[in-house]
Amino acid sequence: MLVLFFIILFHGSLTLASDPDPVFDFCLPNETSAGSSHSSCKNSSLARVEDFIFSGIKFPGKFNGSGFSSTAVNSKVFPGLNTLGMSLVRADFDVGGVNVPHFHPRATEVAVVLEGKVYSGFVDTNNQIFAKVIEKGEVMVFPRGLVHFQMNVGEIPATIIGSFDSQNPGLMKIPTAVFGSGIEEELLEKAFGLSPKELAKLKKRHAPH
């Protein structure tokens, strides 16, 4: 019985696992170990208020071919976030701009609309869709690992701030993962009912940059 208890306890700890809790107030990466899988923290007495302020999302980025731009805010560009179990993104949409279906394998996302009107939604594992046009001041949550998407349906550019409960949420864009990853062409043709010409066009469009 005792063994069963520890098996259940151990299994529960795995299913509830997320980014580890910090053991310090903060951990600014030591510059000599930045980028290392075993980076250490620099002495907290050397920290400055500027280490905890990031100004890189004041302005929108450059739109891509889908009328979309995103600026990630993570510990690589904002060391003050290191070990705190969170990260952000600023997403900007031109009129008609699209954030293609994608998912974050390691994080739930909470997205707040700062400007504009955005058709926003996700699909659960039963293929049920939850989607609605949300406007300035409204918030939507995308559960971890579920495919979600956004499109500007307003008449002005739109802006969203997304917050993740992970330092490294990960990003898998469905079109790029399917058509830009080198999956055997015959499989894709059969799976999606595509001709070789249609597939070649999609592969060219969604090739990773």
Q: What's the pLDDT score for residue 7?
A: 42
Is 104 marked as binding a ligand? yes
32-70 pLDDT tens trace: 644 444 468 989 889 999 999 999 999 999 999 899 999
Instruction: Say which CATH number the domain at 85 has.
Output: 2.60.120.10
Instruction: Give the C-alpha separation, 45 to 35, whole Å.
Output: 22
User: Residue 13 domain-assigned?
Assistant: no
Structural domains counted in the chain: 1
12-33 pLDDT tens trace: 544 455 677 767 789 999 876 4
Strands 147-152 and 87-93: unpaired
User: Residue 208 domain-assigned?
Assistant: no
User: Residue 85 domain-assigned?
Assistant: yes
Is 102 marked as binding a ligand? yes
Is 126 marked as binding a ligand? no
Is 64 marked as binding a ligand? no
Q: What is the mean pLDDT of residues 193-197?
A: 95
pTM equals 0.82
User: Residue 52 domain-assigned?
Assistant: no
User: Residue 175 domain-assigned?
Assistant: no
User: Residue 128 domain-assigned?
Assistant: yes
Is 99 marked as binding a ligand? yes
User: Residue 3 domain-assigned?
Assistant: no
Domain range for residue 133?
57-170
Amino acid symbol at 154: G
